[in-house]
Amino acid sequence: MTLEEMIKDSGLEPKTINKVIKDFQKAGEKYNGIQCAVAMTLLLRLLVQNDSQRQMVNDIANEYDIGTEDD
């Protein structure tokens, strides 16, 4: 399966991913960036325990062009 097929099969849309990221950025206003990054890393380890799945997540994430500015 190609990366494009994985993205399509996962049902991920950049608009949804951007919304989730913006919500995490709002949390960053309350907590510092390191705290948020550690929490997200721990969450990833809980949600995706298989190394090959983690690599797939990294590959998919690398395909996204996520803006950090308010739309």
For residue 31, give the DSSP letter. Answer: S
The whole-number pLDDT of residue 58 equals 84
Residues of the chain below pLDDT 70: 1-3, 6-7, 65-71
The whole-number pLDDT of residue 69 equals 54
pTM of the full predicted structure?
A: 0.56
The whole-number pLDDT of residue 3 equals 65
The whole-number pLDDT of residue 71 equals 46
Q: What percent of the chain has pLDDT over 90?
A: 0
Residue ranges of the alpha helices (H) in 1-71? 3-10, 14-30, 33-47, 51-63
